[in-house]
Amino acid sequence: MAKPGRVYWKGTLRLSLVTIGVEIYPAVETASEISFNQIHKPSGKRVRYERTVPGIGKVENADIVKGYEVEPEVYVLLEPEEIEAIRLESKRTIDLVQCVDRSEIDPRFFERPYYVLPADDQAAEGYAIIREALRESGKVAVGQVTMAGREHLVVVGPVGKGLVLNIIRYGNELRPAATYFDEIPEHKLEPDMMDMAVQLINRKSAPFNPDAFKDSYGVALRELVEEKAKGHKILSPPTSEPASNVINLKDALKRSVQEERAEPPKSSKTKPKSPAGRKPAGTKGRA
């Protein structure tokens, strides 16, 4: 079966003396994302951007190199072959240097997943050994890999019949939480309010199913584009900010628990609203 997408990276995966050839594919589907172009409204034509240099004008791509600013408006220029000359083992090999419990890695560090596949039949046995050893031990393996011109910190772990590589952030890339949370005032919480809050959370608890959640905004945005393309007039409904219930928190908790008792947890699969103020076909409001 043909794999969707192209190979993103190809090299070797190494666990101590076990080295196998692997291929990496993006695990995230981006084709469904809506992207907009900037349009010159009077003409309806797309805005184009040219690469220019002040005092020189338009420049050719062949004359552009990478540069690092060492002082204001002073740059060290680097040729592609000079950058390529940097010899990092992680350009060709993902060296799994440490194994840790998955729960030890703070979720804030995770960025983007990739599927790791054996490069050929010869690599399949070693691949299976690494996968099953990680599964049996309940661990993920930490290493580094150079992709898209940058060395990334990664973790590799088993998922089903395969291995998934997640790019994770380096320690210095994450802003310290205390910077944001230290000034939050402390409150002495009433035990009965805590009991009700815990009841509410327990009643809303269910196994996580990502398929139960849909991008309703994306669906509504596509519908809006379709209606606009048909010449329908789009009207924006009045909006209002939801009122805060902080003053009546205890009452809100009581009523929430009562409502949850009255009906089972609902699926988050809700039908997206139609584009704002869209008038159905056959009614007034067409352009």
Tens of pLDDT, residues 256-285:
888 877 665 555 444 444 444 444 444 443
Give me the percent of the chain exceeding a pLDDT of 70. 86
Return the pLDDT at 265. 54
Tens of pLDDT, residues 79-118:
888 877 776 777 889 999 999 999 999 999 999 999 999 9
**Most confident among 21-35, 156-170, 230-244 (mean pLDDT):** 156-170
Least confident range of 21-25, 50-54, 213-217, 250-254: 213-217
Between CA 287 and CA 285 the distance in angstroms is 6
For residue 139 the two structure tokens come to 């661990």
Return the pLDDT at 264. 59
Confidence of residue 239 (pLDDT cuts 50, 70, 90): low
**pLDDT surpassing 70 at residue 287:** no
Return the pLDDT at 132. 96
What is the DSSP pairing of strand 93-95 with strand 9-15?
parallel
Domain definitions of the chain by residue range: 9-28+86-173, 185-237+245-287
Q: What is the mean pLDDT of residues 157-164?
A: 96
Which string of DSSP letters, residue by residue, matches the chain? -PPSS---EEEEEEETTEEEEEEEEE-S--TT------EETTTTEEP----EETTTEE--GGG--EEEEEETTEEEEE-HHHHHT---GGGTEEE--EEEEGGGS-GGGEEEEEEEEESSHHHHHHHHHHHHHHHHHTEEEEEEEEETTEEEEEEEEEETTEEEEEEE--GGGSPPTHHHHTTSPP----HHHHHHHHHHHHHT-----GGG---HHHHHHHHHHHHHHTTB---PPP--PPPP-STTHHHHHHHHHHHHHHSPPPPS-PPPPPSTTPPPTTSS-B-
User: For the chain, what is the mean pLDDT?
Assistant: 83
Confidence of residue 286 (pLDDT cuts 50, 70, 90): very low
Does the domain at 9-28+86-173 match CATH 2.40.290.10? Answer given as yes
For residue 113 the two structure tokens come to 């997943």
Confidence of residue 171 (pLDDT cuts 50, 70, 90): very high
Strand partners, 154: 143, 167
Return the pLDDT at 278. 46
For residue 168 the two structure tokens come to 């994770």
